[in-house]
Structure 1
Amino acid sequence: MKKVLIATNNKGKAKDFEVLFEPYGIQVMTLNDLEQDIDVEETGTTFEENAVLKAEEVAKQLGIMVISDDSGLEIDALNGAPGVYSARYAGPAKNDDANIDKVLEELQEVPEDERTARFRCVLAIAGPNQETKTFSGSCEGFILNERRGTNGFGYDPIFYTPSKQRAMAELTPAEKGEISHRGAALAQLKEQLPTLMASFGEVQ
């Protein structure tokens, strides 16, 4: 089975990638599967900058093809926040519940029709002596007044998806993959995936 390294320690993201890559017979590995400890500081000001930074640094250290994902939530009423700070919006501890509580508090006085938001994702693929490529996707929705559902991770419990008429956390992994920002980015990637796997090589 072919393997690809996803430059993340986030188990929630890993599950999303497993669902998305499974139809292609590709086994997903993450930084948790490696013996060495690799931690790349996200200093970029955009999702694309952070994705490229992570992919290129891990690929440089390991000498293999790496796919990095940077994603987050943009809320129009908060001028695009939390954006690239989505994972650590309530502090460096990266606590999902604390992040959600902060968003709900900040939107407490915002009417329903002004709570528009989107999940945005950028995938970056890097490898030794190869040009880094990026693919992006987004998913439009609204921020709810309270949590719904127990699936997913991050802001999924408060993100309402009009196309499914449910919160993201109420969707199955397969349903989420159909409409998610990460799924949209992968849809752009998948046509080039076989060629990229061949040119970059794969984890042994």
Structure 2
Amino acid sequence: MPDPVRLLVASRNPKKLAELRRVLDAAAVEGIELVGLDEVPEYPETPETGATFEENALIKARDGAAATGLACVADDSGIAVDALNGMPGVLSARWSGRHGEDEANTSLLLAQLADVPDERRGAGFVSACALVLPNGTETVTRGEWRGVVARERAGGGGFGYDPVFVPDGGDRSAAELSPQEKDAASHRGIALRALVPAIAALR
């Protein structure tokens, strides 16, 4: 049995590693060992200054591949709210001014939408996933998950804006779905599944 191929996931979020692991397992892709940023020596990370999710995902994946010599997968994702002309978009993780402040970001979004009627609260979660190989080969995929922004939080699962996002056709927030339910429908699940053939080819 050959040694597994190490694949760097450019994230310190264990939920993102677990999500990709579930997607690979569901596709019966074996022989891939996922490695998080906490498991490799620190390296300088280029600021995510891209104007699109795709550009930011590539920035992260290129950095990881160059620094470690491993194939690297990265995602950039966020929520695009119709009533805010597609914002927060690529600024989702730092909407309130500081990166990764989920509570503050969500509170600001709810406040900005306080006067927006229910029929105009449409939004979409967007994810772009990039796979960059040490030889420079690049693959980028995209997924979108439509729904509406609720008026208050519900559920304790997920992360980011999940507690206030209710997918189209459902009555529970993304934070109330099981991991398997979320994988099947979510923006990142769609983008990761589209990336599976390129990941499987690493073996």
Contact kept? 1:68, 1:124, Cα under 8 Å = yes
Point out where structure 1 has 5 or more consecutive residues left out of the alignment.
Answer: 199-204
Contact kept? 1:160, 1:168, Cα under 8 Å = yes
Once the two structures are TM-superposed, the CA of residue 171 in structure 1 deviates from its matched residue by 0.5
Q: Could you say which residue in structure 2 is the equivalent of 1:185? A: 191
Q: Could you say which residue in structure 1 is the equivalent of 2:173? A: 167
Once the two structures are TM-superposed, the CA of residue 117 in structure 1 deviates from its matched residue by 0.3
Contact kept? 1:8, 1:30, Cα under 8 Å = yes
Q: Could you say which residue in structure 2 is the equivalent of 1:201? A: none
Q: Secondary structure at the match of 1:41?
A: coil
* Equivalent position amino acid for 1:190 in 2: V
* Equivalent position amino acid for 1:126 in 2: V
Q: Secondary structure at the match of 1:192?
A: helix
Contact kept? 2:43, 2:67, Cα under 8 Å = no
CA distance in 2, matches of 1:180, 1:171: 10
Determine what percentage of the aligned residue pairs are the same residue. 38
CA distance in 1, matches of 2:43, 2:72: 15
Q: Could you say which residue in structure 2 is the equivalent of 1:36? A: 42
Structure 1 residue aligned with 2:18, among 8, 15, 20?
15
Correspondence 1:87-166 to 2 at 5 A: 87-166=93-172
Point out where structure 2 has 5 or more consecutive residues left out of the alignment.
Answer: none
Correspondence 1:11-90 to 2 at 5 A: 11-23=14-26, 24-25=29-30, 26-90=32-96
Contact kept? 1:72, 1:86, Cα under 8 Å = yes
Runs of 4+ with >6 A deviation: none
CA distance in 2, matches of 1:191, 1:176: 21
CA distance in 2, matches of 1:157, 1:70: 19
TM-score of the two chains, using structure 2 as the length reference = 0.90
Contact kept? 1:21, 1:27, Cα under 8 Å = no
* Equivalent position amino acid for 1:36 in 2: E
Q: 1:173 to 1:135 in 2, by over 3 A?
A: same
TM-score of the two chains, using structure 1 as the length reference = 0.90
CA distance in 2, matches of 1:15, 1:120: 19
Tell me the number of residue pairs that the alignment of Structure 1 and Structure 2 aligns.
197
Q: Secondary structure at the match of 1:86?
A: helix
Q: Secondary structure at the match of 1:154?
A: coil
* Equivalent position amino acid for 2:142 in 1: S
